[in-house]
Homo-oligomer: A and B are copies of this chain.
Amino acid sequence: MEKLLQQIVFIKEMDKLKYILRKTKLLNSDRCENDAEHSWHLAVMTIVLAEHSNKPIDVLKVLKMVLIHDIVEIDAGDTFIYDSVKNHVNTDEEMLAAQRIFGLLPSEQAQEFISIWKEFEDCETDEAKFARSMDRLEPLLQNTSNNGGTWVEFNVPYEKVYEKKKVIANGSESIWKYAEQLINESVEKGILKKTFEIFLGKNCHHHPPSS
Contacts and interface: CB of A to CB of B under 8 A. Distances in A.
Interface string A3-27: 0110110111011011100000011
A39 B178 CA distance: 28
A44 interface: yes
A100 to B, nearest CB: 16
The bracket for how many chain A residues form the interface is 35 or more
A26 B37 contact: no
A207 interface: no
A63 B43 CA distance: 9
A74 to B, nearest CB: 12
Chain A interface helix/strand/loop/mixed:
helix
Given A18-B26, A44-B68, A174 B4 contact: yes
A94 interface: no
B44 A67 contact: yes
B60 A7 contact: no
Please provide the 6 A-B residue pairs with the shortest distance between their CB atoms, ordered closest to farther. Answer: A40-B40, A15-B27, A60-B60, A36-B37, A36-B40, A18-B37
22 contacts: A4-B49, A4-B174, A4-B178, A5-B178, A10-B48, A11-B41, A11-B45, A11-B49, A12-B27, A12-B141, A15-B26, A15-B41, A17-B40, A18-B33, A18-B37, A36-B41, A40-B40, A47-B64, A47-B67, A48-B105, A48-B109, A60-B63
